[in-house]
Structure 1
Amino acid sequence: MEMDTRIPVTIVTGYLGSGKTTFLNHLLKHTEEKTALIVNEFGDIGIDDQLIEQTKEEIIEINSGCICCNVRKDLIDTLSMLAISRDEKVIEFDRVIIETTGLADPAPVVQTFLMDKEMVEDYFIDAVCTLVDAKHISRHLDQQGEAINQIAFTDVVLVNKVDLVTKEQLTDLRKRLVRINPTASQHLCESSRISPGEVLGIYSFDLQEKLRAHPDFLNSHHHSHDDEISSLALREVKPLNLKKLNLWLSFLVQIQGENLYRYKGVLNIEGKERRFVFQGVHMLFAGEEAGSWGDDERVSELVFIGKNLDKKSLTEQFQQCVTE
């Protein structure tokens, strides 16, 4: 049998705050293969490429919109560029990982690799991998079609943050996941830690199985996110006061935590020589000092994704955290 020389692709999806960036950091750190990573953001400012730790991997960011909507052409162009660069020995990589925004339905992303002639010649789908936040996923399954689609279309479900739920809650969740997708394998993990061998090089994508579950997915894709869900990108060149920032965020999550699906940022804190990175999901958030700024501009970038965001109020409150 002739060996398949095409490039394997792993599609990583999961609803907002499921732990995809942490998962990618862990995955890239513990695999010997060289990886080209394509990151898709929902919003005007890209944060994920800063949160992903510096490795030997090639990181490409697409943040002009959801990867399942208006940036499909950008995705194809990016993949074409990667294939050409690999053939010409400009860059070396063994596989591609695509991280979709938390609001993306993976079906049209998969569709790209099955219906575009150039993509079919250069790439094949290894697996679709979906992370779920064990603590918060149930409410999203009740409210958002994307969360259900991500699970229904996946090959591997990583049930993350299992340390934050009881055994009974975990059992109920796993049963619910099986009802949505009985063929996907399930792996339990904490802090997005899992062996790369469970998700890379597993060749588990089965088109016929996908067509049985979603018989119309190869048709033209029409997709719209909940109009109430939006993103807000904030940027500030002046240093921030850490005490004011903590007070604001603590107040914010108490008042609006249920509507804050995801918020994350890389911040320039007064008196600190290192970047301050923080991430949050609903009522839970944490921050820590990360890498040095080096020669990069010391600028704070913060992104909120949520329901019914009061953008004017959030912008004004953020400005009040600036050092006087």
Structure 2
Amino acid sequence: MTASAPIPFTVIGGFLGAGKTTLLNRLLSGSTERCAVLVNDFGEINVDAALIRSHDGTTMSLTNGCVCCSIGAGFLDTLARLLDDVGRFDRVVIEASGVGDPWRIAEIALVEPSLRLDGVVVLADAARIAAQSEDRHIGDTIRNQFAKCDVVLLSKCDLVTEIQREAACAVIRAIRPDVSIEPLSAATPAETVVFCRGRTARFRAEPVAETIDHESDFRRWTYRRDGRFDRDRLAIAVRALPQQLLRLKGTCMIDGDARAQVFQLVSRDWSLTPAEQDTTAAAERIALAGVGTVDLISDHELDAILDRALTAA
């Protein structure tokens, strides 16, 4: 490392479906600084194809000087490689896992001289945070994410009433009475709400255990198939998915559509939207990644539910 000024380091957290990916997309598309963004899987970001200069499967370089790296299995290794490239980036942004503790990532900036903690931002879904915080499976995870953040961005405010919005704020204040809560509006520049929080660390880094498992209370499921879904059968299959499946996201082909679709499911709500990047040339493939509680039914049973939505070969 050199004696240059420490690089601002921002962590974005929030539970599954809170809107982290949407916020990161806005940062990547509109940033006036050169950002290094580390995410769990940048394949889920769906960056505008016009922004991508090169893509090698691990690192996506953008035309505005930003770079998006997939954390994969080696978060510290990926971060170290970025820090070795002194002067290339103005700041580093990390997307914490939707079921992880963003503060444990932020602690790195308190002990690494080349980094300066700029803020820990946690998103909360205005329509779901009240129920999520009381859920016996995920409530502790939700509360821990708020414990040491600098600001809570209340997302999806346009989908709730004023009364529901105030109720959501009350839930967050009950967990962290001193935390700042700000509505996340599509009209607000992403840099304004995420960067330059003016943080002076109020919390100390704690000893890091040999193994930290933020996801011991959750189970992952991946669904991959060659082919297409029938839209009507898919709607039926989604209704048959168990409530223990908290999040499902990825890309798929729908019978009758020429373009790949981004599939999103949070709780019982789901949607299909055209993929920003045209992936149809890669083959007709379905690739979905899910997260559920530990009592989620087996992969085989989950596969069977979605298999019923496939078109005939």
Question: Shorter-chain TM-score category?
Answer: 0.7 to 0.9
Q: Does 1:229 align with 2:214?
A: no
Structure 1 segment 1-324 matched on structure 2, within 5 A = 5-40=5-40, 47-49=43-45, 51-54=46-49, 55=51, 56=62, 57-64=66-73, 74-87=74-87, 92-115=88-111, 120-142=112-134, 143=136, 144-190=139-185, 194-204=189-199, 206-207=200-201, 209-211=202-204, 218-221=206-209, 223-225=212-214, 229-249=218-238, 251-252=239-240, 256=242, 258-290=243-275, 291-293=277-279, 296-307=282-293, 308-310=295-297, 311-324=299-312
Q: Report the Cα offset of residue 160 of structure 1.
A: 0.8
- Asked if the contact 1:76/1:112 (under 8 Å) is kept, the reply is no
- Asked if the contact 1:130/1:151 (under 8 Å) is kept, the reply is yes
What is the RMSD computed on CA atoms of the aligned residues? 2.5
TM-score scaled by structure 1?
0.80
Q: Report the Cα offset of residue 229 of structure 1.
A: 2.4
Deviates more, 1:300-309 or 1:286-295: 286-295
Deviates more, 1:171-180 or 1:5-14: 171-180
Q: Distance in 1 between matches of 2:216 and 2:39?
A: 23
Report the AA paired with residue 313 of structure 1: E
TM-score scaled by structure 2?
0.82
Q: Report the Cα offset of residue 104 of structure 1.
A: 0.6
Equivalent residue of 1:121, what SS? coil
Stretches of structure 1 lacking an aligned partner (at least 5 in a row)? 65-73, 212-216
- Asked if the contact 2:10/2:106 (under 8 Å) is kept, the reply is no
- Per the alignment, do residues 148 and 60 of structure 1 end up closer, same or farther by CA in structure 2, a change over 3 Å counting? same
Q: Distance in 2 between matches of 1:271 and 1:122?
A: 52
- Asked if the contact 2:263/2:272 (under 8 Å) is kept, the reply is yes
Matched pairs, number: 289
Q: Report the Cα offset of residue 172 of structure 1.
A: 2.7
Q: Report the Cα offset of residue 303 of structure 1.
A: 1.4
Q: Distance in 1 between matches of 2:187 and 2:20?
A: 7
Stretches of structure 2 lacking an aligned partner (at least 5 in a row)? 52-61
User: Which of the two has greater helix per residue?
Assistant: 1
Q: Report the Cα offset of residue 245 of structure 1.
A: 2.0
Q: Distance in 2 between matches of 1:271 and 1:200?
A: 43
- Asked if the contact 2:100/2:215 (under 8 Å) is kept, the reply is no
Q: Distance in 1 between matches of 2:109 and 2:216?
A: 28
Counterpart position of 1:68: none
Q: Distance in 1 between matches of 2:95 and 2:116?
A: 16
